[in-house]
Structure 1
């Protein structure tokens, strides 16, 4: 009985060490990719580059995401992560420039940035501290994101501003749920690859920021 109890304690300690290592690696890589993405966005803004368009954005994003998934267990996966987040930064620059050109643009951008930071930190801290299992949200999030994505395409191609705002609101809620879900997966052993965890959290932050930009811009009367 004592041997079994000691073995259980050892396994629990090893699991805690692995979880802490995964969290450190994930947040370290996430911080670096966010910084790199901000740099590429800054370059895009400084050069006043045009937005590449929805087709190139989707092809680039899904192509690099597929590549990162294939390389997630190798050192090349790190390179692929930076390629993906750097590319997304380039697509973000023209969007931020467009909002900065509005009369109340700088305030809109700062409010969206601050809101994104507060939501991410609060939800991540809650998931880590509480250690609650949010895996039950997986199916709902998958379906919700798919529906929101298709609705966003419809809003873009059919030029429906009302639907676009509704999609942005959906994405704010879905990305908040995805942050809870992915952090919970890391803490409870559902996700063991820090590269994939980083990508999921990065995409959540990116979409959350863009969605808040649109919502704040619309309700401030400047969008």
Structure 2
């Protein structure tokens, strides 16, 4: 009888912890998306140039590892905002490039809508079905290295259709990351809402950029 009570109590505590992490994650994600969007809008209106490639790499990975180091303190919240604000800053010039197209506004709005629908759909699927998506870890690891290799090949060789393939690959990769991260929260693999937030944010950012590229290529008159 005592064992039953203990198991029930443990399950209740576990469920409360899952609810807390989910609530904090989605709350912080909403804040970071709003802040990142504001920074992107300001950068777009100011017509700032896209930063140097190495500046983007150093800025992103530097702030990412700083956030990971500070994830258990209140400073982690500030570094999270710094990271997502920086990513928003890099998004501004990208938006300007697409808005300069003949159908740019339609491309941007379509990519934004599809990103929202994909994220909400995938998240709802995991939250409702409660399926364990840990099996995707191997696919995510392999996909990361395949995409890196494809990007390097695209940098050195002008292969027709490669950019479209890379963008499509990133859509699948980001979707798998959203499924995996949401499942990790539900099943106890992720208990730090700051790390969960930046993981979902980066997946959303990559998903949006990839959809922009696909729609931009398909909508181009060239």
Q: TM-score range by the shorter chain?
A: over 0.9
Q: Which residue of 2 aligns with 1:148?
A: 147
Q: Which residue of 1 aligns with 2:6?
A: 7
Q: Which residue of 2 aligns with 1:71?
A: 70
Map Cα deviations across residues 17-38 of structure 1 (whole Å, 9 max, x no partner).
1000000000000000001100
> How do 1:125-144 residues align onto structure 2 when only pairs under 5 Å count?
125-144=124-143
Distance 2:149 2:61 in 1: 15
Distance 2:2 2:15 in 1: 20
Q: Which residue of 2 aligns with 1:29?
A: 28
TM-score by length of 2: 0.96
Asked whether the equivalents of residues 61 and 84 of structure 1 are also in contact (C-alpha less than 8 Å), the reply is: yes
Unpaired runs of 5+ residues, structure 1, are none
TM-score by length of 1: 0.96
Map Cα deviations across residues 147-202 of structure 1 (whole Å, 9 max, x no partner).
21332243245454621211100000010011000000000000010000001000
Question: Judging changes above 3 Å, is the alpha-carbon distance between structure 1 residues 218 and 73 closer, same or farther for their aligned structure 2 residues?
Answer: same
Q: Which residue of 2 aligns with 1:190?
A: 189
User: 3-state DSSP class of the match of 1:132?
Assistant: coil
Distance 2:221 2:65 in 1: 37
Displacement of 1:110 after TM fit?
0.4
Matched, 1:203 2:202: yes
Q: CA RMSD of the aligned region, Å?
A: 1.3
Map Cα deviations across residues 93-116 of structure 1 (whole Å, 9 max, x no partner).
100110001000000000000000
**How many residues are paired up?**
222
Question: Judging changes above 3 Å, is the alpha-carbon distance between structure 1 residues 157 and 85 closer, same or farther for their aligned structure 2 residues?
Answer: farther
